Amino acid sequence: MPRSDEVTPNPDNKTNSPTGGRALRDWVKQVARLTRPDAVVWCDGSEAEKDRLTRQAVAEGILIELNQAKRPGCYLHRSNPNDVARTEQLTFVCTPNKKDAGPTNNWSDPAQTYTKLRGWLGGSMRGRTMYVVPYVLGPLGSPFSKVGIELTDSIYVVLNMRIMTRMGAAVLDQLGESRDFNRGIHCTLDLNPERRLICHFPQDNTIISVGSGYGGNALLSKKCFALRIASSLGREEGWLAEHMLILGLESPNGETTYVAAAFPSMCGKTNLAMLTPPAEFQGWKVHTIGDDIAWLRVGPDGGLWAVNPENGYFAVAPGNSEKSNLNAMRMLQHDSIFTNVAMTPDGDVWWEGMDTPAPDGLLDWQGRPWKKGSPDKAAHPNSRFTTPMRNNPAWSPHADDPQGVPISAIIFGGRRATTVPLVLESTDWTHGVFMGATMGSETTAAAAGAVGVLRRDPMAMLPFCGYNMGDYFAHWLKMGIAIKKLPRVFMVNWFRKGADGDFIWPGYGENMRVLKWMLDRIHGRAGGRQTPVGIVPNQADLDLKGLDLPASTARDALAINPAEWKAELESAGEFFEKIGPTMPKELKERRQAILKSIHDDAPVQQVAASR
**Catalytic residue positions?**
267
**β-strand pairing of 454-456 with 440-442:** antiparallel
- Residue 399 backbone phi and psi in degrees, to 5: -65, -20
What count of other Cβ atoms lies within 10 Å of the Cβ of residue 9? Answer: 15
CA distance 337 to 346: 17
CA distance 570 to 503: 26
* Residue 269 DSSP code: H
Residue 340's nearest CA partner among 156, 486, 534, 610 is 156
Q: Which helix (H) or strand (E) holds 304?
A: strand 304-307
Q: What is the 3-state secondary structure (H, E, C) of 126-169?
A: CCCEEEEEEEEECCCCCCCCEEEEEEECCHHHHHHHHHHCEECH
- The tally of CA atoms less than 13 A away on the side-chain side of residue 504 is 26
Cα-based distances in Å from 477 to 429, 458, 480: 8, 14, 5
CA distance 422 to 420: 7
**Contacts for 572 with CB less than 8 Å, ≥ 6 apart:** 438, 456, 591
